[in-house]
Structure 1
Amino acid sequence: MRKLILTILGGLLILASFFIAYIIIQNKNKAKPVPQKVIKTVFADTVKNATIPIVIPANGNLTAKRRVELYAEVQGIFRSGSTLFKPGQVYKKGHSLIRIDASEYYASVQSAKSNLYNSIVAIMADLRLDFPEIFPKWQTYINDFDLTKTTPKLPEMTSEKETYFITGRNVISNYYNVKNLEQRLSKYTIVAPFNGILTEALVTEGTLIRSGQKLGEFIDPSVYEMEVAISKSFANLLQTGEEVTLNNLDATEAFKGIVSRVNGSIDATTQTITAFIEVKDDKLKEGMYLEARLNAKQEENAIEIDRNLLLDTQQIYVVRDSILDVIPVKPVYFSDAKVVLKDVPDGSVILSQPVTGAYAGMLVKIFKDKSIKTSN
């Protein structure tokens, strides 16, 4: 009985082994599933070459086109006037900015004028006797001479005898001595050379002012300039009188300006050329930071795309029969975010957005087809 049971169990074990081996063989012969090909969806544009304006971004701070740094040429006490010498004070052309006490110097000027007057009066008798033909004009000069006013110009001398006679009496030397003193006396008062505003005041009324001391700064707030540095490659493209659009940092306000001057030399260190943009607006203030867009030139038969679509090998991706390919291109201008390209055939379908892991030969499907923007 025991042998029978063992025989049956052995037979079952053999049958089970054959069954398991059969299943393994069957599974081994089954065909493996073929992985499905992944086709990426891409965004593409159809190329249409056009004329692309090359716009150069630049920025800088505004400075007044007309500004005067005020310096003292004489010494004295700063006298108070009708308006305080303070930053923000507005002055009209010809209005007194600073008056320095010139009482002592004024007395010396009057003394010199008196000496000139006396030297002319002393020769009047000789003129009447020896030069009766010129006596009337010198008599008129004496009659019009006013010590409280600016010394008038001497009468014109018409002969050598008259010149020698007048010069020999020291009239001419006395006259120019007076004019020199009067010229220096005028420097005790500084007047506004144009309508403007005081932006810096370094002295106050009652201050002792010394010769050569800086007193402040005065500007014309109606016209400003912005200095910008442009790449030397555009040196021959910028033209005086060209219109420029300027924006503040928040891009909430726009101003119109013109290129007023272009420097004739290139900075040897930075290899840039300096241009000056003139702008007028009541909202502008000196020192304001603005951004400008300069129209350098028009590039014909070109397109403009994002910089991240241009490969390091100076190539871009195109779609041909649902397969990615690359074509060589010629970049002609780079901005912060864009690049202008030439040698891209019309009708080419190029990527409008970068594709992660893209390579030549990749299967793709175009999501949407639209005409590329070729101008701003």
Structure 2
Amino acid sequence: MNSRKIVLSIVGVLLIIGSIFGAKYIINSKYTPKPRPQKVVKTVIVETVKNGNVPIVVPANGNLVAKRRVELYAEVQGVFKPGNKLFKPGQEYRAGEILIQIDAAEYYANVQSSKSNLYNLITSIMPDLRLDYPEVFNKWQTYLANFDINKSVPILPEMSTEKEKYFISGRGILTNYYSTKNLEQRLAKYTIAAPFNGVLTEALVTEGTLVRSGQKLGEFINTSDYELEVAISKTYSDLLKVGEVVELKSIDKSKTYKGKVARINGRVDLTSQTITAFIEVKDPDLREGMYLEANLTAREEVDAIEVNRSLLLENDQIFVVRDSILDLIPVNPVYFSNSKVVLKDVPDGLTILSKPVMGAYSGMLVKVFKDQETNNQD
């Protein structure tokens, strides 16, 4: 029994020792070759250089403002009378229509009283004119005949002699006449009429409000003509021209409008070193305050190309493709926009990258995109 256990123990030890040596042999005999790195050739998109005239387009933006606007102020005091239309924002008026009517009953009575005094004063001198100045009597008689107290006071007859002037002035007629005309002018200020076709954009009073002299009543604008005020670099101050057509786009790029440069400010802003240009635009869809973007064509650069700014390296170089190998050439950038750059001194016929390549370097092996290569050959 004991000898059997001894034999089994020896066999077990031998099996363990054999499995250890067998495992070592298998491990030592297993050879895994190192993988060879694959040579990756990147595919690039290219274009062939063709120099030409590149328009320098200056982007600008701003908010529309009505070209014709009137701020309504009261020059007299009184109660705002109701009119044919409600004095509310958005209300349209035709030229000549009454915007605001202030109660002038009391002041109107004063004007009529002054007219009556003038009429009576002229009437009182008529007997003296008949006797002392018969040669001028008829024209003053005609003046009285045409005098209507319910209408504006007519202009006084022209006085031809010094004696007539002294006589008329000495009786206080001239003073009374100009005083009455002054009252009439002030009476006209109780009514404010629309100076042009437009819409009320702001109303600060309502019917029945007591209006005071100097109080702002609202704003009235013409809705057919608008202006866009934009600030551009002073570099292009001598390149922009009045009357130049400008393309305008809405903020969501959904609509395009045509405008033209109406005015250019002659002064440069000291802080921003920009000049202000005013672009006139007409369209029934436009509203005051709309945000628009403008593209101003400042000039054309001759013998130049326009590429994406990401293709230009910091040291003013770009990549070209020569026999499937990338190379660098120096260029002369002359204008930068938000996404583009205008380059000069790039020879015609060169193949340049049209899209940037990650990790690109001079001497890098590349492959031109097949479909593009076929299109270029066509």
Instruction: Give the alignment's TM-score, normalised by structure 1.
Output: 0.87
SS at match of 1:119: helix
Match for 1:337: what amino acid? S
- The partner residue of 1:230 within 232, 243, 253 is 232
- The partner residue of 2:286 within 284, 305, 310 is 284
1:246-282 deviation per Cα after TM superposition (whole angstroms, max 9, x unaligned): 1212222211111111111111111111111111111
Match for 1:131: what amino acid? Y
Greater shift in the superposed pair: 245-254 or 266-275: 245-254
- The partner residue of 1:324 within 323, 326, 331 is 326
SS at match of 1:134: helix
d(CA) in 2 for partners of 1:115, 1:122:
11
2:149 corresponding residue in structure 1: 147
1:355 corresponding residue in structure 2: 357
Offset, 1:158: 0.9
- The partner residue of 1:86 within 85, 88, 108 is 88
Offset, 1:35: 6.1
2:20 corresponding residue in structure 1: none
Greater shift in the superposed pair: 52-61 or 202-211: 52-61
1:268-307 deviation per Cα after TM superposition (whole angstroms, max 9, x unaligned): 1111111111111111111111112111111110101000
d(CA) in 2 for partners of 1:348, 1:263:
43
Q: What are the residue-to-residue correspondences of 1:202-213 with 2, within 5 Å?
A: 202-213=204-215
2:311 corresponding residue in structure 1: 309
Task: Let me know the Cα RMSD of the aligned residues.
Answer: 2.0
d(CA) in 2 for partners of 1:126, 1:328:
102
1:219 corresponding residue in structure 2: 221
SS at match of 2:47: strand
d(CA) in 1 for partners of 2:125, 2:115:
16
Instruction: Give the alignment's TM-score, normalised by structure 2.
Output: 0.87
Count, aligned residues: 345
Q: Percent same amino acid among aligned pairs?
A: 67
1:100 corresponding residue in structure 2: 102
- The partner residue of 2:126 within 118, 124, 127 is 124
2:246 corresponding residue in structure 1: 244
Q: Where in structure 2 are there 5+ consecutive unaligned residues?
A: 1-24
Match for 1:108: what amino acid? N
Q: What are the residue-to-residue correspondences of 1:1-376 with 2, within 5 Å?
A: 37-367=39-369, 368-369=372-373
d(CA) in 2 for partners of 1:282, 1:296:
28
1:6 corresponding residue in structure 2: none
1:91-113 deviation per Cα after TM superposition (whole angstroms, max 9, x unaligned): 11111110101111111111211
d(CA) in 1 for partners of 2:188, 2:35:
104
Offset, 1:360: 1.8
Q: Where in structure 1 are there 5+ consecutive unaligned residues?
A: 1-19, 372-376
Moved >3 Å (runs of 4+): 32-39, 368-371
